[in-house]
Amino acid sequence: MNREIAVVAFAQTDHRRTSEELSEVELLMPVLHDVLARTGLRTADLDFVCSGSSDYLAGRAFSFTLALDGVGAWPPISESHVEMDGAWALYEAWTKLRTGDADTALVYAYGKSSPGSLRDVLTRQLDPYYVAPLWPDSVALAALQAQALIDAGDTDEPALAAVAARNRENATANPHAQLRGPVPHGDHVVRPLRRGDCAPVGDGAAAVILAAGERARALTERPAWIRGIDHRVEAHGLGVRDLTDSPSTRLAAEHAGAFERPVDTAELHAPFTSQEIVLRKALRLGDGVRVNPSGGALAAHPVMAAGLIRIGEAAARIHRGASDRALAHATSGPCLQQNLVAVLEGDPR
Amino acid sequence: MPDVLKAPLVVEFPFTRSLGPVQSAFLTGLRERVVLGVRTTDGRTLVPPAEYDPVTAEEIRDLVEVAPTGTVTTWAWNHAPRRGQPLDTPFAWVLVRLDGADTALLHALDAPGPDAVRTGMRVRVRWAAERSGAITDIACFEPYDGGPAQPDGHCGDFADPVTGIVAPARLDYTYTPGRAQTAHLDALAERRIVGERCPSCRKVYVPPRGACPTCGVATSERVEVGPRGTVTTFCIVNIKARGLDIEVPYVYAHIALDGADLALHGRIGGIPYDRVRMGLRVEPVWTGGARHPDHYRPTGEPDADYDTYRELL
Ligand SMILES: [Zn+2]
């Protein structure tokens, strides 16, 4: 079955360093109401619901089942969850719509990093035999990648600082961003990465509604059609990979059709400045492409939602006519281990 | 907004994992101060070894010893070591390609400062004094200015191989239950049970979670429920849980507190286990400084009519 699927609505929280007064469902509910209100849909109208989150962030077991209360999961609904970024939940929902099993889907994701120490928490996703027992934190692993890029002549510290400044300058137009405008580049966290090279740690949530064919046209004026979406993974051994490149991103982009025609906008999920360098190269993004008009992950990085937000931001630009063909990227794992690329288009004007 | 409750929460678990033949040989080798790699079908040597070729996905078993000396392929200076990391003084994270290997191993490098580290520098393994068959048997790397050490050509067969690892994990959190549960817990401290009413369907949820699972809207109107309630259903527990000093058999029940639209659960006491029944009227028993009812006991009232609680089953 070859159905056209579009993102028809997107909503997100204001991302903040902490939302300690809120449980996950309390954090999420306003976003769910917001995204539904944009389409006029009620939860009972949704054919499928899929979410992305990780219990390790807040240290609360089965938190995704409690978060379902915010959707209204009684009477029973068709629902699924990925212990990943919501971009992968969107991929599952897209598949469900493609098969004709559903005409509409709600995809949401949330991350509450404030209760724990994110750098330590993320070590638990690493190879448990050879790597996790050494507790290398997320900044350390990204710093190894950054140094490899510097050694290869792909970047240097001033160029990384410029990436940080440009993203946060872009974020001045993003009311949801956690860091915007001039942000001090700061001291080294793990050299060569400085504070300003790293995404902020914070809490937040996002939601997207997908619809197929005519249903999408009925729900929004200018649907953001998903022309292609694909995700790829690389060897988990960091020392097996060439950290200066991202073949998985390039392959996903090829399969998503990203190279068939130029895009005007790219929302890249790069929690570290150095990773934007890798992604720009892998995706062959020229100077004519508007990269991270939202400020990207360096402006707000609710873990497990930040990738879905890239798709949402790209779609929102198409909805309001600021873009005609946009690329959205999401990543997961250390040093860009897994990558998802989606290509979104608006109807010709 | 009232202060939300907060408490430290520590999640600790010993991750017990079994090893396949390749990982077993590698980690046993470290115990014996031997570093083993595995040869892929295209002739590359992977260190640390994988069980499947990362390119072809073929199973690989061809173990080959490499040198405990090697070259840094990339590094990062860690001036503030964190708990669990290999050294507690500032060190460099390094990827090291050992002599004889085609891929790099992640570990720590003990060096006096970032100026003493560079990509391409020569390093060697510093073995841990006590070794058990784990990646931490390599204490760290240290600077070394010689050529490749010559391995003995160990084939990877060991008399007493390591077959598993225990990788302890510990994460520290500050737990905050959120607005709705904070209100519930605050009330419990005063020996009251408070739920929240859904503004849409008017059902009262206890304990409240901040949202109505039917309507998907926020609940906020506080409603005191109970203290008395009705047993809606129950089970008889016959197996003693470790660390629990309750004699078996005992009864664990769903209890619909008066005024609540959702049953909560609790233990039933003060009545022989085989006399507990649906419809039994009960009330909470608070003991000592406990922050929730210890159990529920019969009130002596006549049993509730089935129709009064059938919707709550
Ligand atoms: Zn309700």
DSSP labels, A160-198: HHHHHHHHHHHGGG-TT-SS-S-----SEEEBTEEGGGB
Quick: pLDDT tens for B31-49.
999 999 999 999 999 999 9
Centroid of ligand 1 to alpha carbon of B204 (angstroms) = 9
Q: Which of A193, A196, A200 is nearest to A165 (CA)?
A: A196
B100 torsion bin: left (phi>0), alpha (psi -120 to 50), beta (else): left
ipTM, two decimals, is: 0.95
| E strand residue ranges, chain A | 5-12, 48-52, 79-82, 104-112, 188-190, 193-194, 203-212, 224-233, 265-267, 290-291, 325-332, 338-345
**Any idea what the Cα angle at residue B294 is, between residues B290 and B295, rounded to 5°?**
160
**Cα separations in angstroms, A135 against A124, A138, B82, B141:** 8, 9, 8, 16
- Residues of chain A with pLDDT > 70, as a percent, come to 100
- Inspect the interface and report whether the beta carbons of B217 and A29 lie closer than 8 Å: yes
- Inspect the interface and report whether the beta carbons of A151 and B171 lie closer than 8 Å: no
Centroid of ligand 1 to alpha carbon of B197 (angstroms) = 8
Contacts of B25 in chain A (CB under 8 A): none
Banded pLDDT at B186 (limits 50, 70, 90): very high
Predicted TM-score (pTM) of this structure: 0.95
Banded pLDDT at A1 (limits 50, 70, 90): low
Backbone φ and ψ for B90, nearest 5 degrees, come out as -50, 140
Helical residues (DSSP H) of chain B, grouped into ranges: 21-31, 178-189, 306-309
HEC string of B43-68? CCEECCCCCECCCCCCECCEEEEECC
Partners of residue B170 on adjacent β-strands: B12
Tell whether B5 is within 8 A of chain A (Cβ): no
Banded pLDDT at A102 (limits 50, 70, 90): very high
Tell whether A56 is within 8 A of chain B (Cβ): yes
Q: Residue B236: is it exposed, middle or buried by C-beta count within 10 angstroms (0-12/13-18/19+)?
A: middle
Q: Which of A275, A233, A229, A277 is nearest to A254 (CA)?
A: A229
- Inspect the interface and report whether the beta carbons of A21 and B179 lie closer than 8 Å: yes
List all residues of chain B from 30 to 89 with a beta carbon under 8 Å from chain A. Answer: 46-48, 50, 54, 73-79, 82-86
- Inspect the interface and report whether the beta carbons of A116 and B216 lie closer than 8 Å: no
Contacts of A32 in chain B (CB under 8 A): 216
Going by the DSSP 8-state scheme, the letter that residue B2 receives in this structure is P
Tell whether A182 is within 8 A of chain B (Cβ): no
Quick: pLDDT tens for B106-133.
999 999 999 999 999 999 999 999 999 9
Cβ atoms within 10 Å, residue A284: 12
What gap in Å lies between CA A132 and CA B220, rounded to an integer?
Answer: 43
Side chain identity at residue A223, one-letter code: P
CA of B112 to nearest chain A CA: how many angstroms apart?
Answer: 15
DSSP class per residue in A14-60: PPBS--TTS-HHHHHHHHHHHHHHHHT--GGG-SEEEEE--HHHHT-
**Any idea what the Cα angle at residue A291 is, between residues A286 and A297, rounded to 5°?**
140
Helix axis angle, B178-189 to A24-39, nearest 10°:
140
- Residues of chain B with pLDDT > 90, as a percent, come to 85
Contacts of B103 in chain A (CB under 8 A): 237, 239-240
- Tell me which of A130, A155, A197 to substitute to probe the interface with B (most B C-beta atoms closer than 10 Å): A130
Handedness of CA A173, A19, A38, A92 (dihedral sign): positive
List all residues of chain B from 273 to 292 with a beta carbon under 8 Å from chain A. Answer: none
Dig out the tokens for B140 from the structure: 């760290």
What gap in Å lies between CA B210 and CA A187, rounded to an integer?
Answer: 41
Q: Which of B104, B35, B102 is nearest to B67 (CA)?
A: B35
Region of poorest pLDDT, from A9-13, A20-24, B83-87? A20-24
Chain A, nearest residue to B181 by Cα: A23
Going by the DSSP 8-state scheme, the letter that residue A13 receives in this structure is P
The shortest CB-CB distance from B216 to any of A32, A140, A147 is to A32
- Tell me which of A36, A147, A242, A243 to substitute to probe the interface with B (most B C-beta atoms closer than 10 Å): A147
Contacts of A245 in chain B (CB under 8 A): none
Q: Which of A290, A119, A94, A275 is nearest to A190 (CA)?
A: A119
Quick: pLDDT tens for A37-78.
999 999 889 999 999 999 999 998 888 888 998 898 888 899
**Cα separations in angstroms, B81 against A16, A220, B110, B117:** 27, 51, 12, 17
- For residues A237 and A39, the answer to whether their CB atoms sit within 8 Å is no
pLDDT at A329: 98
Q: Which of A200, A232, A154 is nearest to A296 (CA)?
A: A200
What gap in Å lies between CA B173 and CA B170, rounded to an integer?
Answer: 10
Residue B2 has pLDDT above 70, yes or no: no
Side chain identity at residue A195, one-letter code: R
- Tell me which of B71, B78, B205, B212 to substitute to probe the interface with A (most A C-beta atoms closer than 10 Å): B78
The shortest CB-CB distance from A25 to any of B19, B107, B210 is to B210
**Type and span of the H or E element at B14:** strand B7-18
Tell whether A51 is within 8 A of chain B (Cβ): no
- For residues B216 and B232, the answer to whether their CB atoms sit within 8 Å is no
Chain B, nearest residue to A129 by Cα: B135
Dig out the tokens for B2 from the structure: 């009232």
What gap in Å lies between CA A146 and CA B185, rounded to an integer?
Answer: 47
Region of poorest pLDDT, from A130-134, A259-263, B145-149? B145-149
The shortest CB-CB distance from A140 to any of B23, B78, B172 is to B78
- Tell me which of B27, B82, B98 to substitute to probe the interface with A (most A C-beta atoms closer than 10 Å): B82
The shortest CB-CB distance from A134 to any of B4, B85, B178 is to B85
Q: Which of A304, A322, A318, A344 is nearest to A50 (CA)?
A: A304
Chain A, nearest residue to B219 by Cα: A26
pLDDT at B164: 96
pLDDT at B313: 86
Side chain identity at residue A272, one-letter code: F
Dig out the tokens for B141 from the structure: 């790397």
Tell whether A133 is within 8 A of chain B (Cβ): yes
Tell whether A144 is within 8 A of chain B (Cβ): yes
Chain A, nearest residue to B213 by Cα: A69
Average pLDDT over chain B, rounded to an integer: 94
- For residues A234 and A245, the answer to whether their CB atoms sit within 8 Å is no
- Tell me which of B3, B176, B205 to substitute to probe the interface with A (most A C-beta atoms closer than 10 Å): B176
Centroid of ligand 1 to alpha carbon of A125 (angstroms) = 37
* B196 Cα distance to chain centroid: 31
Residue B160 has pLDDT above 70, yes or no: yes
pLDDT at A204: 98
Backbone φ and ψ for B24, nearest 5 degrees, come out as -60, -45
Tell whether A57 is within 8 A of chain B (Cβ): no
Backbone φ and ψ for B96, nearest 5 degrees, come out as -120, 125
Quick: pLDDT tens for B236-293.
999 988 877 888 999 999 999 999 999 999 999 999 999 999 999 999 999 988 888 9
Backbone φ and ψ for A86, nearest 5 degrees, come out as -60, -15
| E strand residue ranges, B144-280 | 164-175, 193-197, 204-205, 221-225, 229-237, 250-257, 264-268
Tell whether A149 is within 8 A of chain B (Cβ): no
- For residues A28 and A22, the answer to whether their CB atoms sit within 8 Å is no
List all residues of chain B from 255 to 274 with a beta carbon under 8 Å from chain A. Answer: none
Tell whether A233 is within 8 A of chain B (Cβ): no
